[in-house]
Structure formats: C-alpha cells, structure tokens
Amino acid sequence: MDRRSLKTQRLIKDTFLQLLQQKPLQKIAVSEITQIANIGRGTFYVHYSDVDDLYDQIINEAIGNLTKLFDQKYPAVVKKDNDDFVALFRAVTQYLTANATLFKVLLQNQKSGKVMQQIKELFAQRVMAERQFDPNDSTIQVTVAFTTAGAIGVLTDWLTGNLAVSADQLAQIIDTLLAKFSP
C-alpha cells in the first residue's frame, strides 16, 4: 500500500476515534467522518465498507499488534524457564501507552467486552500452546484463565487511570503476581 493510502487510512481512523470519544458507535455516520476528515465519501469506501468495518479493522489491527508483542516476548519467558514476565508486560504497557486513546475508546464502547474476551482467549491459547500444557488438565486451564483474566483486568484498570503506578512498576508487580500463580 502506498503512503497516500496509509496516510488516508490513518486520518480516517484518527477522526473515527475522535468521534468515538464523543458518542457511541451507532451514532457515527460515514458522512460525519468524511466531513471532519475533509475527504470524499468515495475515499472512505475505498478503504472500508462501513463504520462497523472500520471499527472491526481497528480492533483486528490492535489485537494483531498485541499478538505480535506476545509472540516476540513470551517465548523468551518459556526458554528462560524462570517465569520472568517483566519484558512482556513492559512491552504491553508501552504499546498501550502509545495507543492509549484507542484502548480507552475501545473500553468505553459497548463492544469492548467482546474485544477484551478475544484478547483474554487469545493470550490463554498462546500460553497453553507455548508451554505445551495439557488442554485436558482442568487445573491448568483454570490457572491459565485466571492469570490471563487477572493480568488483562489489571492492565485495563491501569489504562483507565484506576491504578496510579508507572508502567515499570506495573510490569514488576504483575511479574511477581504471575510467578505465584504459574503452573
């Protein structure tokens, strides 16, 4: 994709996120996005079929980026065999900080429950596969689900300002907690 297309997509996404901060997804129209972004409706439709498609693509991109981070950092935890999650959570908190507007908007949206569930399930599946845990072991399943949900919940609270700690402090605290619950 050329730079103009990427720049246009970024403009559309940024405009959309601005609008999502002000109103619910269902109240946002393509015409409003194009008017604020100062682009033609045809330009919008070159990239997205409708507002829901735009929203879904933004979600998929964010989940894809989190997955890449996880895939880059988590195997190092397994190879070290010492359950040091600091690098992983430092990378995740840096990504969340860099994309704070996006994630805050997503958390405010009605569809956010589904998004957070997707992220939890994805990370739980990745942990099970990377650690080669027995998928039939109910104790392992519950432990992985519990720790994944807890970590995602804490990250969500931190992102929304409910936890007043730095990204590094958060990574250290989560590492300490996860070390206690690692199967």
CATH number, residue 28: 1.10.10
pLDDT at position 181: 59
Same domain? For 133 and 150 the reply is yes
Percent of the chain beyond pLDDT 90?
A: 32
Same domain? For 97 and 164 the reply is yes
For residue 173, what are the domain limits? 50-181
CA 7 centroid distance within chain: 22
**Interatomic CA distance for residues 54 and 21, integer angstroms:** 15
Lowest mean pLDDT among 29-33, 54-58, 79-83, 87-91: 79-83
What does the buried/exposed string (b/e) look like for 48-62 if buried means 16 or more CB atoms within 10 Å of the residue's CB?
Answer: beebeebbebbbeeb
* Span 9-26, pLDDT tens digits: 999 999 999 999 899 888
Residue 43 pLDDT greater than 80, yes or no: yes
Same domain? For 129 and 86 the reply is yes
Same domain? For 39 and 64 the reply is no
Same domain? For 84 and 124 the reply is yes
Is 93 in contact with 179 (CB distance < 8 Å)? no
Residue 169 pLDDT greater than 90, yes or no: no
pLDDT band, residue 84 (cuts 50/70/90): low
pTM flag (> 0.85): no
Give SS3 for 84.
Answer: coil
Is 93 in contact with 170 (CB distance < 8 Å)? yes
Same domain? For 23 and 71 the reply is no
Is 11 in contact with 3 (CB distance < 8 Å)? no
Residue 87 pLDDT greater than 80, yes or no: no
The one-letter code for the residue type at 38 is N
What does the buried/exposed string (b/e) look like for 98-119 if buried means 16 or more CB atoms within 10 Å of the residue's CB?
Answer: ebeebbbbbeebeeeeebbeeb
Same domain? For 100 and 171 the reply is yes
Same domain? For 17 and 58 the reply is no
**Interatomic CA distance for residues 39 and 130, integer angstroms:** 45
Other beta carbons within 10 angstroms of residue 33's beta carbon come to 22
